[in-house]
Amino acid sequence: MAKHIGNNCHKSYIRGKNRRGNWLAVILLRVSRRDFGLCLTTLLVFCLGSVLWQLNGGPPQLLLHVRYYFGQSTFLDDHGPLVPRVLPFPSKVVYNRVGKCGSRTIVLLLRILAERNQFTLISSDIHNKTRLSKHEQMDLMINISTVPQPFLYTRHVHFLNFTRFRIDEPVYINIVRDPINRFLSNYFFRRFGDWRGEENHVVRTPGMKDDERYLDINTCILESYPECSNPRLFYIIPYFCGQHPQCREPSLWALQKAKENVLEHYLLVGVLEELEDVLLLLERLLPHFFSDVLNIYKSPEYRKLGNMTGTVHKQTPSLKSLQVLYQRMKYEYDFYNFIKAQFHLTKWKFGLRTWPRSPRHHTSLQHREQQEEQSETVLEKWAEHPR
């Protein structure tokens, strides 16, 4: 309406001047009504843009999004070297989840987060193939890198070296857990499944003979069954060391390589024992993916869902067995302690305290999870003072 009146005024103004034969009118006449409107609109957009810019202390989010959708094409880009498309935050995240380290809990959370925070979640359901041939590695990395960004890709897979195949590297995250607890959790999970119901284990390991299913864990450890010996006990380190065959052999080399990769390629490696702090840090470090994760984790709705992921814990091994396990898992403990120290350092940088023994939030844990947690507390105490 205002524009309409403005145009009329403008028109009569020109007409009046024209009658007097003013030179100014000749120039003004050349400016059509449409040009004038365009001019005003441009001015308005420019003003709004600059106000937004100043309010946000930088380019407004809207402009960044517009830039992204137009492939970041700006005048400079069009006339300069081609710049790869980059979102203004880490937009490619790989979580090469370690088995039985709370990964099912995290994947449940990720499903909720992906919808809420609008990112692509690819959660591979291949659980038993962590090592790949060179060809498979390349296929997988190319697949991963073509997922629409921002994305979070997760799979049980040993560290993938993207730079080796000249593919843009993603940001890595992961979570580990006390090695003996992880081993026990896996031992019983393979045999008896989790709290989804007793019939679940039949699906997981249908071919397992009763001899094996009901094998006493002390027998397994003390009589050195393959399942309770190396290299099978060398489990966490290969996830961080990589696809090299040497990464699967218990050795100082693999341990060092794993540590190096953590420092160079991982944004965060948390410990399951301090899960709430892990989530808090993820929320700070990757807000585009994890914002609100702690609220979701603590919500009653999630608690109901998360109830299904606790593994049945049948039996705690004898002290003698634990000592043997601990000896066999020297490298794993070295690595775990390294991760824990790094994690505490990160917490400290973000102003979070680490208690000597973090208080357990029993109110927020289900009955059966509590049972597992309690038997773990005994083990943790032992693991800290093994003698």
Ligand X SMILES: *[C@@H]1O[C@H](CO)[C@@H](O)[C@H](O)[C@H]1NC(C)=O
Interhelix angle 179-192/367-384, rounded to 10 degrees, is: 140
Reply yes or no: is the peptide bond before residue 245 cis, omega within 30 of 0: no
Q: Are the CB atoms for 325 and 221 separated by under 8 Å?
A: yes
We find the least distance from the C-beta atom of residue 37 to ligand X, in angstroms, to be 49
Report how far residue 373's alpha carbon sits from residue 365's, in angstroms, rounded to the nearest whole number.
9
Q: Which of residues 192-251 bind ligand X (CB under 6 A)?
A: 195, 242
Pick the closer one to ligand X by CB: 65 or 314: 314
Nearer to ligand X, 122 or 222 (CB): 122
Residue 244 token pair: 């090299």
Helix (H, G, I), strand (E, B) or coil at 41: helix
Nearest-approach distance from CB 304 to ligand X, in angstroms = 5
CB of 161 to ligand X, least distance (A): 4
Nearest by Cα to 106 from 93, 115, 97: 97
- Scanning 33-41, 206-214, 266-274, 300-308 for contacts with ligand X by CB under 6 A, the matching segment is 300-308
* The residue to which tokens 């039996």 are assigned: 315
Helix (H) or strand (E) holding 122: strand 120-123
Using the contact rule CB under 6 A, the part of the chain among 83-91, 286-294, 301-309, 370-378 near ligand X is 301-309
Strands of the sheet with 92-95, listed across from one edge: 120-123, 151-154, 92-95, 171-176, 266-271
Site for ligand X in 53-82 (CB under 6 A): none
Question: What is the distance between the alpha carbons of residues 13 and 36, in angstroms, rounded to a whole number?
Answer: 14
Nearer of residues 31 and 203 to ligand X, judged by Cβ? 203
Question: What does each C-alpha distance from 37 to 7, 51, 128 come to in angstroms?
Answer: 9, 21, 65
Least spacing, CB of residue 343 vs ligand X, in Å: 20
CB of 159 to ligand X, least distance (A): 7
Instruction: Specify the residue, 161 or 375, whose C-beta has the smaller distance to ligand X.
Output: 161
CA distance 78 to 1: 39
One symbol per residue from 154 to 193: x for binding ligand X (CB under 6 A), - otherwise; what is it? -------x-xx-----------------------------
Residue 157 vs 176, nearer CB to ligand X = 157
Diameter over CA atoms, the chain? 113
Q: For this structure, is 288 an active site residue? A: no
Rounded distance between C-alpha atoms, residue 301 and residue 66, angstroms = 36
Whole-number Å distance between alpha carbons of 310 and 316: 16
* Binding characters for ligand X, 304-343, by CB under 6 A (x = yes): x--x------------------------------------
Cβ–Cβ contacts within 10 Å for residue 70, how many? 9
- Under rule CB under 6 A, which residues in 103-142 are in contact with ligand X? 128-129, 136, 139-140
Residues 351-370 that bind ligand X (CB under 6 A): 366
The nearer residue to ligand X, 63 or 138, going by C-beta atoms, is 138
State the Cα–Cα distance between residues 185 and 215, nearest whole angstrom: 15
CB of 143 to ligand X, least distance (A): 4
Return the residue nearest ligand X (CB atom): 164
Instruction: Show contacts with ligand X in window 255-274 (CB under 6 A).
Output: 261
In the complex with ligand X, the residue whose CB is nearer, 288 or 303, is 303
Catalytic residue among 156, 244, 288, 344, which?
156
Q: Minimum Å distance from CB 129 to ligand X?
A: 5
- Total chain residues near ligand X (CB under 6 A): 16
| Residue 382: burial class (beta carbons within 10 Å; 0-12, 13-18, 19+) | middle
Query: Please, where are the H alpha helices in the chain?
Result: 2-19, 23-30, 33-56, 61-69, 75-79, 103-117, 134-145, 179-192, 200-204, 210-213, 217-222, 236-241, 252-265, 275-285, 287-290, 293-298, 300-306, 319-328, 330-349, 367-384
| Nearer to ligand X (CB atom), residue 143 or residue 358 | 143
Nearest approach in angstroms of CB 303 to ligand X is 6
Binding site for ligand X (CB under 6 A): 128-129, 136, 139-140, 143, 161, 163-164, 195, 242, 261, 303-304, 307, 366
Q: Give the active site residues.
A: 156
